[in-house]
Amino acid sequence: MTDQELRAMIRDSIARQTGVPAAPDPAAAFAAHVSHLRLPLVRSGDDDGACIIEPTVRCTHCGYCQSLGH
């Protein structure tokens, strides 16, 4: 568990006890945005490591093919 996750848990607990909603964490909201999600992708059976988007180059695992280009 990271410090950020621990702090979020503590803020949520305090908010439940006091009835005052906790301020949203901007970093968590940014990371949870739909443009940062990855699509499930079935890997091809090729052993040469070719990129799905550009088959003439090796795959660098950048995630472009899983993220609709965002």
- Over residues 2-46, the pLDDT tens digits come to 888 888 888 888 888 887 766 777 777 777 777 777 778 766 545
Residue spans of the domains in the chain: they are 1-32, 38-70
Look at the block and give the residue holding tokens 């940062």: 36
Look at the block and give the residue holding tokens 């949870």: 32
Structure tokens of 9? 């848990």
pLDDT at 1: 80
- Over residues 42-64, the pLDDT tens digits come to 665 456 678 888 888 888 888 78
Quick check: 40 and 53 in contact, CB under 8 A?
no
